[in-house]
Amino acid sequence: MTPLAREIEQLLPAEDRLLDPADCWSYGADNSKLHAPPDAVAFARDAETVAELVRLCRRLGAPVTCRGRGTGTTGAAVPDHGGLVLSFERMNRILEVDPANRWLIAEPGVTNGEVQEAAGAQGFFWPPDPTSSTYCTLGGNLAYNSAGPHAVKYGTPRDNTLGLAAVAGTGEAFRTGVHTTKGVVGYDLTRLLIGSEGTLAVITEATLRLTPKPEATRLIQAMYRTVGDAAAAVSRLMGRAEVPSALEFMDHSAIAMIRDYAPDCPLPRDAGAILMIETDGTEAGIDATTRGVRAAADGDGCLQTISADTAEETQALWAVRKALSPALRTVAPKKINEDVVVPVSRIPDLIAGLDRLAQAHAIKIVNFGHAGNGNIHVNLLVNPDDPQELAAAERCLDEVFTLVLGLGGTLSGEHGIGLVKRAFVGREIDPVALNLMSGIKRSFDPDNILNPGKAPGPAITGLT
């Protein structure tokens, strides 16, 4: 038994710890498929225990990796340095819902779906809505700054969090932010911690800003001859005063895959791109808003637009998009999924470049994502059990990132950096900025015990 395991055994009751390597094994992986076993797992139930565990790990020089439900795809929750996995699955309470002041206070282990349910009971919602919202945790959403389709109108967790309670790498507890929608006292540590992947502090509580639920929503499906035609429509749509509440994109390769997998989904043979456009608003104004959005979606290269006015029609339109995920799982159950972002006007250049890379490396690439903010999910369909194909995919991925940065884009929109992308961070962030980030890391975590070697990148990994 390691020194850490022995002290955890003394500190926590049996039901709040795992020490046997076999029991700890499953806590060494997340949805990235990467794995590294921790020395121990602790299930915190309150902020005081979190602080005590961090102080213990600092004294022993043991790494601390925080974990929600392990839905992340970049390995940020993988304890590749060993040490302690600090699980928040039992710190899962919603502490307060205040509709008068439009906030909700919750612990990090509560799921996104539970937040939405509690907010919805009061007529509100929390805008971040990742695909895994029924299972992923609030702490994970904050650690990655994970958003979802409604970020195009309502923003990411950084835009929808008022304040945090956290524990620094020193074991000291502190609070950030405010309980008001305005406040300029001090540096904005709330936004700094969100997206830091547990490398600066351990979040123990969050005060979320709630948004009133819209009275009505409508869905429009628009099909285009080319990706360029669709991108031009996105620019028109995003230039409107009434921004779509969601604006999803699928390219020609995604359309072909849906057509092969679900032939009952009616798709024109000459469709090169699809936009799924959601609008929301008041019951009195939704029809006018939808007409305006549909008119903006129409234009050069638009093959057709279809508006859904009933729940059944909406479900039928979403069936096209929903057919993509099972198709991808069937064709490539171990696909490589990246979430790059480029300026909206450069989406055609991105897709054209990806087509060239797919041909050059003999790798099938399927693209879809959040068109309104240029956040495209690039899926490399490969068999990682085939060494030659995997090597080709790795070369292709390297060139994908070069392409994205050359278009003025960024390496990740919502999946984070973790282990998967850390080698590429130096391409996007300049040395001076990385050095400043190293200084921030030292201030929060002087002994480098909080998720060492993870985001933001190479300059941080050199800390001792």
- Give the per-residue pLDDT at 56: 98
**Is 427 domain-assigned?**
no
Q: What is the pLDDT of residue 265?
A: 74
- Out of 114-128, 331-345, 439-453, pick the least confident: 331-345
Average pLDDT over every residue of 363-386 = 91
| pLDDT score recorded for residue 457 | 52
Q: What burial class does residue 290 get, using C-beta atoms within 10 Å of its C-beta: 0-12 exposed, 13-18 middle, 19+ buried? A: buried
Q: Specify the CATH number for the domain of residue 282.
A: 3.30.70.2190
Question: Are 454 and 208 a contacting pair, CB within 8 Å?
Answer: no
Do 27 and 79 belong together in one domain? yes
Residues 80 and 107 in one domain: no
Query: Are 391 and 411 members of one domain?
Result: yes
Q: What is the mean pLDDT of residues 209-226?
A: 96
pLDDT-above-90 percentage for the chain:
82
pLDDT at 180: 86
- 11-36 as b/e: b if 16+ CB within 10 A: ebeeebbbbeeeebeebbbbbbebee
User: Do 102 and 200 lie in a common domain?
Assistant: yes
- Identify the domain boundary among 87, 119, 147: 87
Residue 258 confidence class, pLDDT cut points 50, 70, 90: confident
Question: What CATH number has the domain bearing residue 412?
Answer: 3.30.70.2740
Band (206; pLDDT cuts 50, 70, 90): very high
pLDDT of residue 316: 84
CB neighbours of residue 94 within 10 Å = 17
Q: Where among 294, 325, 356 does a domain terminate?
A: 325
- Residue found under tokens 């022995």: 6
Regarding whether 207 and 169 lie in a shared domain, the answer is yes
Q: Verify that 206 and 101 share a domain, yes or no.
A: yes
Indicate whether 462 belongs to any domain: no
Q: Where are the alpha helices (DSSP H) in 334-386?
A: 347-361
What is the pLDDT, as a whole number, of residue 320?
Answer: 82
Assess whether pLDDT exceeds 90 at residue 356.
yes
| Helix and strand counts by DSSP (H, E) for the chain | 17, 18
- 120 occurs within a structural domain: yes
* 148-152, 371-375, 380-384, 460-464: range with lowest mean pLDDT: 460-464
CATH no. for residue 167? 3.30.465.10
CATH code, 8: 3.30.43.10
Q: Can you give the pLDDT at residue 33?
A: 84
Residue owning tokens 């990467």: 34
Q: What pLDDT sits at residue 459?
A: 45
pLDDT at position 268 is: 82
The angle, 0 to 180 degrees and rounded to 10, between the axes of the packed helices 324-331 and 311-322 is: 20
pLDDT higher than threshold 70 for residue 147? yes
Q: Is the same domain home to 21 and 99? A: no
In the predicted structure, residue 90 carries a pLDDT above the cut 70: yes
Lowest-confidence pick of 78-92, 95-109, 363-377, 443-457? 443-457
Q: What is the pTM of this model?
A: 0.93
The tens digit of pLDDT for each residue in 26-76 reads 999 999 889 999 999 999 999 999 999 999 999 999 999 999 999 999 999
Do 393 and 336 lie in one domain? The reply is yes
* Assigned domain for 272 exists: yes
> Looking at the predicted structure, is the pLDDT value of residue 460 above 60?
no
Q: What angle do CA 9, 47, 65 make, to 5 degrees?
A: 60
Residues 6+ apart with CB under 8 A from 115: 94, 104, 106, 126, 138, 208
pLDDT top residue among 321 and 236: 236
User: What residue type is 318 in one-letter code?
Assistant: W
Within this chain, do residues 308 and 259 fall inside the same structural domain, yes or no?
yes
Final residue belonging to a domain, choices 155, 182, 212: 212
pLDDT at residue 146 greater than cutoff 70 = yes
| 224 and 179 housed in the same domain | no
Q: Would residue 425 be called left, alpha or beta, if left means φ above 0 and alpha means ψ between -120 and 50 degrees?
A: alpha
Is residue 464 pLDDT above 50, yes or no? no
CA distances to 170, 172, 223, 452, 459 from 464, rounded to whole Å, are 15, 20, 54, 10, 11
Task: Band the pLDDT of 269: cuts 50, 70, 90.
Answer: confident
pLDDT by residue (tens digit) across 394-437? 999 999 999 999 999 999 999 999 999 999 999 999 999 999 99
Is 287 among the domain residues?
yes
How far is the C-alpha of 201 from the C-alpha of 450, rounded, in Å? 7
SS3 87: strand
Residue 32 lies in a domain: yes
Q: Has residue 460 been placed in a domain?
A: no
Count of domains forming the chain: 4
Mean pLDDT rounded to a whole number for the chain = 93
Same domain, 248 and 194: no
Report yes or no on 241 lying in a domain: yes
Whether 64 and 118 map to the same domain: the answer is no
Q: Summarize pLDDT for 158-195 with one digit per residue, the tens.
A: 999 999 999 999 999 999 999 888 888 999 999 999 99
Residue 105: which domain range? 94-212
